[in-house]
Structure 1
Amino acid sequence: MVAVKVDPVVERLAFWGIPISFGVMGLKMLAWWVTGSVALLSDGLESTVNVVAAFIAYFVIRYAQRPADQDHQFGHYKAEYLSAVVEGVLIVVAALLIIQEAWGALFEPRLPDAPVLGLAINGLAGVINAGWATILIRTGKSHRSPALAADGHHIMSDVVTSAGVFIGLILAVWTGYAILDPLLAIVVAVNILWQGYKVISNSLGGLMDRALEPDEEAAVREAITTHSEGALGVHDLKSRRAGAAAFIDFHLVVTAGMSVGEAHHICDRLEDAIKAIIPGATLAIHVEPEGERPHGQKVEIEGTVK
């Protein structure tokens, strides 16, 4: 079974996302209460989704890092993709709620009350979100956590929302055109819909056993070419990514007279080289003598004969 190490950095960040999301939501709803702006309300509604998403991300990330067991012998990694899909759906729901609120305000637009105070409060929430989203996205990518990265991208879309609301309300107050408030909310909702689509699309790719990224596969091929001394070549190289884990398998062609011990030594060398560049990788190498290769089948990775 696949061994799993709990990543304390990912789990800690997922936990702190809960109180931070509550704090940001509180600030945004306060800004709406002060001003009565439908655009600020739309911003606050998206933050309520952030709170739900933070809870989901934390518990799913903890579950995904559980050790492999008899029923899940390759680990629980894919649970993170499920979390990311749910978060994407929540983003879409938030966008639809915003459109609903903005549509009603289109017919009775009004300028916000106390705009300076409201924008100052909302601006503070946006700055907090921007810093937090940057941390989550970077850590999610470096630690191969789809749920953490999805949470970061969701919050970054919230930052875009806040920036748009900030600029739009300034224009509305400056020009006196109150209708800019609900129009801005609708534009923000469309952007949020796009962000939700991207989160869902990327997560579904992981659930469908998407292969390693091209640069990762190129690095694997280079490692095989460099460290396969004694073998004749490799074919049928396949891979799939599951959160922090990567699964790679291929056929290693050796001479018919090579001993099991010699072939095993080559496999160990290849495993060490690949795991050095793809942390968390699990390899399955099928060793076959040269005569077993189907007639006419070419070796995929050239240059392995030393």
Structure 2
Amino acid sequence: MLKKELRVILISLLVSLLITGAKFAAYLMTHSVAILSDALESIINVVAGGFASYSIYLASQPKDENHPYGHGKVEFFSIGFEGAMIFIAGILILVKAIQYFIFPKELQKMESGLWVLGVTTLANLLLGLYLVRSGKKLSSLTITGNGQHIMTDVYSSLGLIIALTVIHFTGWNWLDPTVSLLMAGLILTNGYQLMRRSISGLMDETDMKTVDKVIEILSANRRENWIDIHNMRIQQYGNNYHIDCHITMPYYLELNDAHDEMKRVEELVNNGFKNSEVEFFIHMDPCIPSCCHYCLKSACPVRSHPFTGEITWARDNVLPNRKHG
């Protein structure tokens, strides 16, 4: 897994280096601040690719005494670093665009610059699609985040090509810094979103999509001894997960039987999370008489109240620290 992730990110790094060089060449030919903006953003791809290589290596290291949950959290730091670099690039582009409004420059060799930009945009599109697909396949936050950033670069480059084509045929040079301002806004937004995702991961903010996926897996394979599941908490470490939860079971179960039920929960969820490892800490609660009305155990020898209906598992009863009903 590590070799595959490193190979993907190294390909990204090499291609980004070539694209960045080509974009700066286009800027030197045309003196377009909008192309300079695009080139500055590409520098971030190179820096982020280098940092991502190290973060992927570190995230793959095994658990130790100082890091009992592993080193996967570094991936959140990686996308936060990338987001901060993108945000800084957005500010630099904003400043440069304002300077060009005050001190405009004559654009040159626009046709050659457009050809270079078109080729680099196509290369970026292929790279972005490759990274997003690889990131999902390998369950890598770093690779997926890198791919999403490059796809944003593609969209801004397409807009830039359209704007420069209009400038080339109309001579409206004022569009150049105007487009650069729009690109700065897009880049600043993208940087903020990556930093926001990084902070939420480092602060263990609940990912409701992951919660819903776990609930869906357990609901589809519900066993009659699983009377309810509550107080669920999910933490993500790179592409691995740690889940705490309470499961209410019949109080008279033998310890071995209860252990088998908990192992079944672990196996089901791990099978549902491909390319990820899910570690469970399960606290078993004994059932009480108030559980009887929704308990699915048909041959319960100690039922004190009649069954009235199954309670569907959802966020509102799985996340709180209380038995259902």
TM norm structure 2: 0.84
* CA shift for structure 1 position 108: 3.2
Superposed, 1:190-201 pairs within 5 Å as: 190-201=185-196
Cα RMSD, aligned residues only = 2.1
Please tell me whether residue 118 in structure 1 is matched to residue 113 in structure 2: yes
* CA shift for structure 1 position 304: 5.1
Superposed, 1:18-37 pairs within 5 Å as: 18-37=13-32
* CA shift for structure 1 position 37: 1.4
Q: Check whether the contact 1:78–1:207 (CA below 8 A) recurs between aligned residues.
A: yes
Change (3 A) 1:221 1:38: closer
1-side partners of 2:155 and 2:217: how far apart? 41
Q: 2:4 aligns with which of 9, 28, 34?
A: 9
1-side partners of 2:199 and 2:40: how far apart? 26
Please tell me whether residue 89 in structure 1 is matched to residue 81 in structure 2: no
Superposed, 1:285-296 pairs within 5 Å as: 285-291=282-288
Paired amino acid for 2:141: P
Change (3 A) 1:150 1:222: closer
Paired amino acid for 1:224: L
* CA shift for structure 1 position 115: 1.0
Paired amino acid for 1:258: L
* CA shift for structure 1 position 85: 0.5
1-side partners of 2:295 and 2:117: how far apart? 59
Paired amino acid for 2:142: A
SS at match of 1:228: coil
Q: Check whether the contact 2:71–2:238 (CA below 8 A) recurs between aligned residues.
A: no
Please tell me whether residue 210 in structure 1 is matched to residue 202 in structure 2: no
Change (3 A) 1:104 1:233: closer
2-side partners of 1:109 and 1:263: how far apart? 75
Q: State the identity %.
A: 30
Superposed, 1:158-177 pairs within 5 Å as: 158-177=153-172
Please tell me whether residue 258 in structure 1 is matched to residue 250 in structure 2: no
Out of 204-213 and 219-228, give the one that drifted further: 219-228
> Who is 2:297 aligned against?
305
1-side partners of 2:212 and 2:100: how far apart? 53
2-side partners of 1:102 and 1:254: how far apart? 64
TM norm structure 1: 0.89
Out of 90-99 and 254-263, give the one that drifted further: 254-263
* CA shift for structure 1 position 303: 6.2
| 5+ residue gaps, structure 2 | 299-325
Paired amino acid for 2:215: R
Out of 74-83 and 257-266, give the one that drifted further: 257-266
1-side partners of 2:282 and 2:63: how far apart? 21
Give aligned pairs, total. 294
Out of 271-280 and 141-150, give the one that drifted further: 141-150
Residue by residue over 1:74-106, the C-alpha shift from the partner in whole angstroms, topping out at 9 and shown as x without a partner, is 111110000100100100111111122221111
1-side partners of 2:157 and 2:99: how far apart? 21
* CA shift for structure 1 position 27: 0.8
> Who is 1:284 aligned against?
281
Q: Check whether the contact 2:26–2:112 (CA below 8 A) recurs between aligned residues.
A: yes
SS at match of 1:305: coil
Q: 1:52 aligns with which of 39, 44, 47?
A: 47
Paired amino acid for 2:284: V
> Who is 1:3 aligned against?
none
